[in-house]
């Protein structure tokens, strides 16, 4: 597991000691410890693995890729189902740091007639406790317990004058609300935050944070929260203490989920946890424990979710996940497509990415349009942006349209957001199949057509459920691409053109278009002109 801001390359936030071979077998090493694979390098005809453990159990799978993925998820943990609202378009930005800004963005979605079902707020907290709204006025407590909503005063001059009313407003507009989280007690060296200090004193007094080998508090030696304490979720008391401070967000404010960021914070083999495990095991196991606490808590209260970056084997039991922070470039676009296919093979079907990138200069209009069309055919469709810069960095369609002098971008995004809403019956059906079998919704052609050697060579086409094959344009400046059509008969859902399988075709796709083919024999009737329609045919209904 590796935390890298941008340019991740082949590094990942969700490692798994597991692989599938084109030779018809798969292997999963049953360990939380550091593992390194050598996949036949140097001309060798065998693979080897090095594991930081004295004993090791492992599983071997055999059969087709679908069968092996199903076998793997049967023992590692099948994915949990998402509520239908999680499959609609999401909207998010670090720039939305006030209630006024959140309401403004919602009104803009209505102005431009763009559907959305989820709004994520990252910059909401005081950036010290990570559970109190910025500018809230309150009397500090001892740090033992959380606050109730009525213990806060939210002044009109503050950035969040009415959190509960804001979430009610979001719900009235068909939006679920997700708030950002991080599993730390923050180190602040510039000035004291009295409530944070009391929380820290209480946590240290009761041993609620990870420790060093000598028993002193473990403080993170690197990364974006250097010197901060790490909450020990192996300690039931610590987990309950941490979640109690977030109780009012769920029960009173009535948020719908947590964006559980971070989790890659166990640096060093000798870090100690209360259940006896050390950094050797917890480097990989920690994010699942942290995220699992949030998922169980919100899921017990309502049909809520978590949205996480880090994880390990079995992470799909706490959906959903995203690919991490990336630049707005075509090369990052291609890497994220590969990441989504690998996530699916690894048993994590409910995955998304920050379409068109999150960081740095905003994407070109071309990249934004290409990414939006592809994201419409991903398990999670969402845009997100990093914090304010000299110019507005939002990845909203209206900001891209203004910054890039490309008003047509709004029309493109609206088209795919509405298409996405029309696809919800199909997506939900396919998601239920993922939960039942472990086979991902977004899957590499090799998974669907293992006997087709040509399909095994392609990374930029994929199946989206049983019936649709997406072929996005991922090269800058291109308006056509080669598309390999597997066996059978396939119909372009946008043009109606029919293609016979076993051949490669050159197909056109203007900047606002994506190539999506429907397999013959599908149970779904699809209309993508005028009023979008995805419904079961009369014969299959």
**Alpha carbon distance 281, 287 (integer Å):** 11
pLDDT digits (tens, 9 = 90+) for 344-359: 999 999 999 999 999 8
Of 62, 238, 45, nearest to 143 (Cα)? Answer: 238
Q: Is the pLDDT of residue 303 over 70?
A: yes
Alpha helix (H) residue ranges in 58-213:
65-76, 99-111, 163-172, 194-205
**Mean pLDDT score of the chain:** 95
pLDDT of residue 190: 80
**Alpha carbon distance 409, 418 (integer Å):** 14
Q: What is the CATH number of domain 84-427?
A: 3.20.20.80
pLDDT digits (tens, 9 = 90+) for 305-346: 999 999 999 999 999 999 988 899 999 999 999 999 999 999
pLDDT digits (tens, 9 = 90+) for 436-476: 999 999 999 999 999 999 999 999 999 999 999 999 999 99
Structure token pair of residue 212: 């060093």
92 strand-pairing partners:
120
pTM exceeding 0.85: yes
User: Which residue has 């409910």 as its token pair?
Assistant: 350
Q: Is the pLDDT of residue 295 over 60?
A: yes
pLDDT digits (tens, 9 = 90+) for 366-422: 999 999 999 999 999 999 999 777 789 999 999 999 999 999 999 999 999 999 999
Coil, helix or strand at residue 515: strand
Alpha helix (H) residue ranges in 302-377:
330-345, 365-375
pLDDT of residue 216: 97
pLDDT digits (tens, 9 = 90+) for 238-278: 999 999 999 999 999 999 999 999 999 999 999 999 999 99
Q: Are 229 and 200 in contact (CB under 8 A)?
A: yes
**Alpha carbon distance 145, 134 (integer Å):** 19
pLDDT digits (tens, 9 = 90+) for 213-227: 999 999 999 888 999
Query: In percent, how much of the chain has pLDDT > 70?
Result: 97
**Alpha carbon distance 139, 117 (integer Å):** 36
65-76 and 408-437 are packed helices; what angle lies between their axes, rounded to 10 degrees? Answer: 70
pLDDT of residue 10: 63
141-166 average pLDDT score:
98
Is the omega angle on the peptide bond into residue 265 within 30 degrees of 0, that is, cis? no
Decide the pairing of beta strands 118-121 and 184-185.
unpaired
Report which DSSP code applies to 93: E
List the catalytic residues: 261, 264, 325
For residue 334, the tally of other CB atoms under 10 A from its CB is 15
**Alpha carbon distance 268, 224 (integer Å):** 17
- Boundaries of every domain in the chain: 1-76, 84-427
pLDDT digits (tens, 9 = 90+) for 476-508: 999 999 999 999 999 999 999 999 999 999 999
79-100 average pLDDT score:
97
pLDDT of residue 189: 85
Residue of higher predicted confidence among 6 and 207: 207
Per-residue b/e over 39-61, b at no fewer than 16 CB within 10 Å?
eeeeeeeeeebebebeeeeeeeb
pLDDT of residue 141: 98
Torsions phi, psi for 359 (to 5 deg): -120, 155
Q: Is the pLDDT of residue 9 over 80?
A: no
pLDDT of residue 7: 60
For residue 541, the tally of other CB atoms under 10 A from its CB is 8
Of 231, 296, 300, 299, nearest to 265 (Cα)? Answer: 231
pLDDT digits (tens, 9 = 90+) for 16-67: 999 999 889 999 999 999 899 998 888 888 899 999 888 899 999 999 999 9
* 113 Cβ contact partners less than 8 Å away, ≥ 6 residues apart: 414
Of 454, 450, 452, 428, nearest to 441 (Cα)? Answer: 428
**Alpha carbon distance 469, 450 (integer Å):** 15
Of 267, 270, 265, 311, nearest to 32 (Cα)? Answer: 311
pLDDT of residue 41: 86
């Amino acid at each position: 597991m590796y935390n890298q801001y941008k340019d991740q390359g082949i590094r990942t936030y969700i490692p798994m000691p597991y692989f599938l071979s084109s030779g018809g077998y798969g292997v999963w090493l049953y360990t939380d410890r550091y593992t390194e694979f050598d996949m036949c390098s140097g001309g060798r005809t065998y693979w080897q693995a090095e594991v930081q453990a004295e004993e090791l159990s492992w599983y071997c799978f055999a059969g087709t890729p679908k069968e092996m993925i199903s076998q793997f998820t049967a023992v590692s943990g099948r994915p949990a189902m998402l509520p239908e609202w999680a499959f609609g378009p999401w909207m998010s930005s670090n720039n939305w740091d006030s209630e006024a800004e959140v309401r403004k963005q919602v009104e803009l979605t209505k102005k431009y007639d763009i559907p959305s079902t989820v709004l994520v707020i990252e910059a909401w907290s005081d950036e010290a406790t990570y559970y109190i709204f910025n500018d809230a006025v309150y009397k500090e407590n001892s740090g033992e317990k959380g606050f109730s909503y009525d213990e806060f005063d939210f002044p009109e001059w503050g950035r969040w004058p009415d959190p509960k009313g804001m979430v009610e407003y979001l719900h009235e507009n068909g939006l679920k609300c997700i708030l950002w989280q991080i599993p730390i007690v923050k180190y602040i060296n510039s000035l004291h935050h009295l409530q944070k200090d009391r929380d820290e004193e209480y946590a240290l007094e009761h041993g609620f944070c990870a420790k060093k080998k000598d028993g002193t508090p473990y403080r993170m030696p690197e990364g974006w929260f250097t010197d901060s304490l790490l909450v020990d979720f192996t300690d039931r008391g610590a987990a309950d203490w941490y979640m109690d401070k977030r109780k009012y967000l769920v029960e009173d404010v009535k948020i719908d989920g947590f964006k559980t960021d971070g989790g890659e914070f166990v640096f060093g083999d000798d870090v100690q946890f209360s259940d006896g495990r050390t950094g050797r095991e917890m480097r990989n196991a920690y994010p699942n424990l942290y995220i699992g606490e949030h998922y169980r808590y919100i899921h017990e209260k309502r049909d809520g979710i978590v949205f996480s970056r880090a994880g390990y084997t079995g992470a799909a039991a706490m959906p959903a996940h995203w690919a991490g922070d990336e630049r707005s470039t075509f090369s990052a676009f291609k890497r994220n497509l590969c990441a989504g296919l690998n996530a699916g093979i690894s048993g994590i079907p409910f995955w998304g990415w920050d379409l068109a990138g999150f960081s740095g200069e905003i994407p070109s209009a071309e990249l934004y349009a290409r990414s939006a069309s592809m994201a419409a055919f991903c398990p999670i469709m969402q845009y997100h942006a990093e914090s304010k810069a000299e110019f507005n960095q939002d990845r909203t369609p209206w900001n891209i349209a203004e910054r890039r002098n490309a008003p047509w971008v709004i029309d493109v995004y609206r088209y795919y957001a509405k298409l996405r809403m029309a696809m919800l019956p199909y997506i939900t059906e396919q998601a239920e199949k993922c939960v039942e079998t472990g086979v991902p919704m977004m899957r590499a052609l090799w998974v669907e057509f293992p006997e087709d050697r040509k399909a095994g060579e392609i990374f930029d086409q994929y199946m989206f459920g049983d019936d649709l094959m997406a072929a996005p344009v991922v090269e800058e400046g291109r308006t056509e691409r080669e598309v390999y059509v597997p066996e059978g008969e396939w119909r372009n859902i946008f043009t109606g053109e029919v293609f016979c399988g076993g051949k490669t075709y050159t197909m056109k796709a203007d900047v606002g278009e994506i190539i999506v083919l429907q397999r013959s024999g599908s149970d779904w009737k699809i209309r993508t002109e005028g009023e979008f329609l995805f419904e079961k045919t009369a014969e299959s209904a």
